[in-house]
Amino acid sequence: MPLLFYFGINSAINYGIYSNQNVDLGQLDVLILGDSHPQKSINPEFLSNAKNISQLAEPYVLSYWKLKKILEFHHPDTLILGFAPHNIAEFNDLKFSKEKWAPEMFRRSYPIENFEEIENKISIDYKSYYKTLWKQIAFYPKSNHQNYIGQYSTNESSDVSDWKKIIRRHYYWDDKQLGVSELSILYLDSIVNISKQNKITLVLVNTPVHENYANKIPKDVKLKFEKLKYKYKDQAMIFDFNKKHNYPDTYFFNSDHLNEKGAKQFTFRLKSFIRE
């Protein structure tokens, strides 16, 4: 009984902390949001008052929850969002239900989640969620619950031989090809709309991938991606780098991420694009 009381007190304290915690990103003019593609490709040091809070494997659902929370405390001029075919692929619908991703997604999202919005559209492993929540809040008071804030991350090495493995991860499950995620598109719409409502310039950025990877993206996902580019062309600036340039292998960390050298060159190109 005393132990349950101890856990209950800690949980109540932590709930109070994360429910009322400010999001302090300092002076913020440019917010960079998305998964590992913008995380590794866009260096905020080369942009004015920019913060890159992207995180590995982040789906648009989580990006929207993050953005909505941040806008309570900041009003950036520009939002740069990762926008690529894999972002609308159906594997994103598995990230709150499969053991491969779910515990980490729950660890990040528990202070900002709204699962009631999505539980009728995708499967959510609530058992794993409550287990993760228990670990985060029950044992001792924590001053910081903002596990959803990421940062720019880079690598110096280069090996593009993994394209088959990455294609399988993004577009297949149990050897079956997946389709398009309607939930991801719905939340991409939400990000576009909330940016417009807050008079934020939205820049949708398709970061460089190796041609071996690009050539194996399923046609139905590519087609939907092109349709979305047309849909958003009057509501956002769209920088589809893969339509214009090819980087040498030495600019890639692996087949779908840039390394430090590539990220520097790409960030300068993106900066010029926004200025123009």
Residue 179 tokens, joined: 């389709």
Q: Which residues, 6+ apart, have CB-to-CB distance to 266 below 8 Å? A: 41, 42, 207, 208, 241, 247, 258
Give CA–CA dist 91/100, Å, rounded.
11
pLDDT confidence of residue 245: 64
pLDDT confidence of residue 190: 98
pLDDT confidence of residue 1: 66
Rounded to the nearest 10 degrees, the angle between the axes of helix 126-137 and helix 102-109 is 50
Contact present, 47 and 41 (Cβ < 8 Å): no
Q: Where are the alpha helices (DSSP H) in 42-125?
A: 60-70, 102-109
Among 275, 20, 11, 6, which residue's Cα sits nearest to residue 146? 20
Domains, the chain, ordered by start: 2-275 (3.40.50.1110)
pLDDT confidence of residue 132: 97
Q: 100-103 contacts: CB < 8 A, separation 24 or more?
A: 101/57, 102/128, 102/129, 103/128, 103/131, 103/132
Contact present, 153 and 40 (Cβ < 8 Å): yes
Torsion of CA 275, 151, 79, 183, to 10 degrees: 140
Residue 76 tokens, joined: 């950036």
pLDDT confidence of residue 147: 97
The model's pTM: 0.95
pLDDT confidence of residue 3: 81
SS (H, E, C) 45-58: HHCCCEEECCCCCC
Low-confidence residues of the chain, pLDDT below 50? none
